Amino acid sequence: MSTRLDYPAPALEFGETHELAPGVRWLRLPLPFPPHHINVYLLDGGAGEPFLVDTGYAGEATKTLWDKRYGCPARAVVTHFHPDHIGQAGHLSNLGARIYMSWEEWDKTRMLHGMPGEQVDASLKDFFTRNGMRCDESMFGRGNGYRRSVGQLPEVVTALEWGKLPFAPEWDVQFASGHSPAHALLFRAQDPVLACGDVALPKITPNISVWPDEPDADPLGHYLKALERLRELPEETLVLPAHGLPYTGLHARVDELVEHHEERLQELRELLDGGRCTAMQALPTLFPKALKPGSVPFAFGETLAHLNRLWWSGEAGRDCDGENVYRYRMN
């Protein structure tokens, strides 16, 4: 965890709540995978009822906490489409909560949730092989893992837009691309507070990946621009991340995240100076340690995000060889 940040509270146990600032309550929910928790927040909307930021994973442990410990909020803002953030939105909607998220995130949710399993497997196989991974059939046949992780979707979602949150005008809505298409950020200027979801985590860097539905995308370029916008917020802002501890020291953390990605880009520049390579050949440069099977797609996608950043910037070129495989090279 960064030594340049300050943490106003220690780790929270599941089922507890902690008031971090006036109108800001912190809740922690379990996850069945690392980092084994997600932070969600109840924020005061002034004259209205408190509203929730993110809902947790679609597991029974989390559902039980909502049903027996926390109760159902009137409104819930989902920052983005990932299962640990949207997983309980359908359940809370059934209990009466109104769900808000950006249209881009909601479109992504419905697209992934609705894909037949065989289509998921086929798109992944083509994506991996096109970028240099040797695939065997044991890697596929898992079907639609997103649908299994999310479960039921809410039937109705209200769109979030840039500007004041309609039911809580003390909070401004902004969006950040890179980790997801249009990740929502909520900022309160008075006694400044930023609910940042996964965008500016205190300890780990959020996964910035290229995925099969947008193989030519530049998510790292979008993410770095989003980080630069965070520099415009006050340094004393209380940051509410989805994982890790709430903290202050936003500008220092932005510096660390930018530096991290610039180091990864420089490593790839040096690799490509030695000749052309595929994303799979480049992966060990960014991820030299042995990876668990479930981590490989994320490492693969993040390697591609860095290669595509060099491609989009004009520093690198990309060619498709006779085997229909993409190889990157420095220009």
Residues 210-221: pLDDT tens digits? 999 999 999 999
* pLDDT at 140 > cutoff 90: no
DSSP 13: P
Give the Cα separation of 63 and 232 in Å (integer): 37
CA distance 112 to 54: 19
Q: Average pLDDT of 232-247?
A: 97
pLDDT at 293: 83
DSSP state of 319: E
Q: Which domain holds residue 132?
A: 17-250
Position 137 pLDDT exceeds 70: no
pLDDT (average), residues 12-21 = 95
The pLDDT score that the predictor gives to residue 70 is 94
Q: Place 225 in a pLDDT band, splitting at 50, 70 and 90.
A: very high
* 185 within domain boundaries: yes
Distance CA(316)–CA(331), nearest Å, equals 5
Report whether pLDDT(296) > 80.
yes
Categorize the per-residue pLDDT at 2 as very low, low, confident or very high, splitting at 50, 70 and 90: low
Q: State the pLDDT at residue 49.
A: 86
- In this structure, the number of other CB atoms found within 10 A of the CB of residue 280 comes to 18
Q: What are phi and psi of 168, to 5 degrees?
A: -150, 75
Q: 193 pLDDT exceeds 90?
A: yes
Average pLDDT, the chain: 94
Whether the link from the prior residue into 192 is cis, omega within 30° of 0, is: no
Give the pLDDT score at 4. Answer: 87
Burial of 324 from C-beta contacts in 10 A (0-12 / 13-18 / 19+): exposed
**What was the pLDDT predicted at 134?**
84
What's the domain count of the chain? 1
Mean pLDDT along residues 177-193: 97
pLDDT digits (tens, 9 = 90+) for 92-124: 999 999 999 999 999 999 999 999 999 999 999
In a domain, 230, yes or no: yes
120 belongs to a structural domain: yes
**If pLDDT is split at 50, 70 and 90, which confidence band does 135 have?**
confident
288 found inside a domain:
no
How far is it, in rounded angstroms, from Cα 83 to Cα 192? Answer: 28
DSSP string, 134-187: ---GGG-----HHHHHH-SPPS--EEP-SEEETTEEEEEEEEE-SSSTTEEEEE
> Is residue 201, in this structure, part of any structural domain at all?
yes
53-76 mean pLDDT: 95
What does pTM read for this prediction?
0.95
Contact criterion met (CB below 8 Å) for 102 and 159: yes
> Is 59 a domain residue?
yes
Radius of gyration of the chain (CA): 20
For 23-61, the pLDDT digits (tens) are 999 999 999 999 999 999 999 987 668 999 999 999 999
Q: Contact, 179 vs 220, CB < 8 A?
A: no
Please tell me the distance from the alpha carbon of residue 164 to that of residue 134, in angstroms, as a whole number: 49
Residue 190 within any structural domain of the chain: yes
Q: Is residue 86 part of a domain?
A: yes
pLDDT at 243: 98
**CATH classification at residue 218:** 3.60.15.10
How far is CA 262 from each of CA 180, 226, 327, rounded to the nearest angstrom?
Answer: 20, 15, 21
Of the pLDDT bands very low, low, confident and very high (cuts 50, 70, 90), residue 142 is confident
